[in-house]
């Protein structure tokens, strides 16, 4: 593969197992003028393993904004640069967004080299629905904001994917159980592609107990894949708040209009509210 001058390559690297690098990534990392890495000492180990001696410069979350300007100048002067992060795909909860954006704006050519990401690796083996999912990244570190974020996700039907630091895993799982219920399905993917890889599909209640009982599960890196909220059975009553809104509007408006407005305000389905109210009115007559 020939390396193009003035091009920014976004290169995915292994999550842990050094064998998980593509031959194209190795060609690019050997052939570019410079590699921009999140932690140069960490990436030096990967490069050493593959006998790659391309010079490294540091681009991390604390210097990315300033470093981007200089890197764009170098790209415009014809240098080829590869961006890598410590593990997985750059920009996925990792630095690179400002640089990639600046490159687009400056008319610099970008080339992505796909490869591992903890997000897709965990999802691929989770056994939870993957046709639609939300990537939530890291939850807030403090309990108050973390619970608030989880509360905002209670009704989310899509599978949810979270990254979490090992020292917060137990607190986060306990907050998920208290906010979203004990029975929610959850999949823990720990130390993916490494010697102590752990995969467990269970419920929030069981996972909280299991992780609490085994300190080894509170070490290493992990992804949590959470089942989405279940759809309400067809004949189940809409939530009380939606019914309260509907009954206020019904005092002033025809049923159809009241149901449509209540649906807009509450986020519930118009037809479900209309059907439910119709049945209630029939019963009252």
Region near ligand SAM per CB under 6 A, out of 200-208, 218-226, 228-236, 258-266? 218-226
Q: What letter would DSSP give residue 53?
A: -
Based on the shown chain and the rule CB under 6 A, indicate whether residue 82 belongs to the binding site for ligand SAM: no
Residue 91 DSSP SS3: coil
Based on the shown chain and the rule CB under 6 A, indicate whether residue 94 belongs to the binding site for ligand SAM: yes
What does each C-alpha distance from 155 to 139, 143, 181, 244 come to in angstroms? 17, 20, 12, 19
Based on the shown chain and the rule CB under 6 A, indicate whether residue 96 belongs to the binding site for ligand SAM: no
Of 53, 51, 43, 45, nearest to 11 by C-alpha is 43
Based on the shown chain and the rule CB under 6 A, indicate whether residue 165 belongs to the binding site for ligand SAM: yes
Please say whether the dihedral angle defined by the alpha carbons of residues 142, 144, 146 and 147, taken in this order, is positive or negative: positive
Based on the shown chain and the rule CB under 6 A, indicate whether residue 80 belongs to the binding site for ligand SAM: no
Query: Residues 6 to 65: which contact ligand SAM by CB under 6 A?
Result: 15-16
Region near ligand SAM per CB under 6 A, out of 40-48, 65-73, 190-198, 251-259? 190-198
φ and ψ at residue 61, rounded to 5 degrees: -60, -25
Residue 160, beta-bridge partner list: 134, 226
Based on the shown chain and the rule CB under 6 A, indicate whether residue 163 belongs to the binding site for ligand SAM: yes
Q: Minimum Å distance from CB 204 to ligand SAM?
A: 18
Count, residues in the chain: 285
Residue 56, beta-bridge partner list: 35
Q: Minimum Å distance from CB 116 to ligand SAM?
A: 7
Return the number of the residue (70 or 165) whose C-beta is nearest ligand SAM: 165
Q: Which residues bind ligand SAM (CB under 6 A)?
A: 15-16, 85, 87-89, 92-94, 117-119, 163-165, 189-194, 221-223
């Amino acid at each position: 593969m020939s390396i193009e001058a003035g091009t920014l390559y976004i290169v995915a690297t292994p999550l842990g197992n050094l064998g998980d690098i593509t031959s194209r990534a190795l060609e690019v990392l050997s052939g570019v003028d410079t590699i921009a890495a999140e932690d140069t000492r960490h990436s030096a180990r990967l490069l050493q393993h593959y006998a790659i001696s391309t010079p490294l410069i540091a681009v991390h979350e604390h210097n990315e904004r300033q470093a981007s300007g200089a890197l764009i100048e170098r790209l415009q002067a014809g240098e080829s640069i590869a961006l890598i992060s410590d593990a997985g795909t750059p920009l996925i909860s990792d630095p690179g967004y400002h640089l990639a954006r600046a490159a687009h704006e400056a008319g610099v050519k970008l080339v992505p080299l796909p490869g591992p990401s903890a997000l897709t690796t965990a999802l691929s083996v989770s056994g939870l629905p993957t046709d639609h999912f939300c990537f939530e990244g890291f939850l807030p570190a403090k309990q108050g904001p973390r619970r608030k974020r989880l509360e905002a996700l209670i009704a989310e039907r899509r599978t949810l994917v979270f990254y979490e630091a090992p020292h917060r895993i137990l607190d986060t799982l306990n907050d998920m159980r208290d906010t979203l219920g004990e029975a929610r399905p959850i999949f823990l993917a720990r130390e993916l592609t490494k010697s102590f890889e752990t995969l467990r599909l269970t419920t929030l209640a069981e996972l909280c107990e299991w992780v609490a009982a085994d300190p080894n599960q509170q070490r290493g890196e992990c992804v949590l894949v959470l089942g989405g909220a279940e759809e309400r059975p067809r004949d189940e009553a809409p939530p009380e708040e939606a019914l309260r809104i509907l009954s206020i509007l019904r005092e002033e408006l025809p049923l159809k209009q009241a149901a449509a407005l209540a649906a807009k305000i509450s986020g519930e389905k118009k037809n479900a509210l209309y059907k439910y109210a119709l049945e209630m009115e029939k019963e009252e007559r």
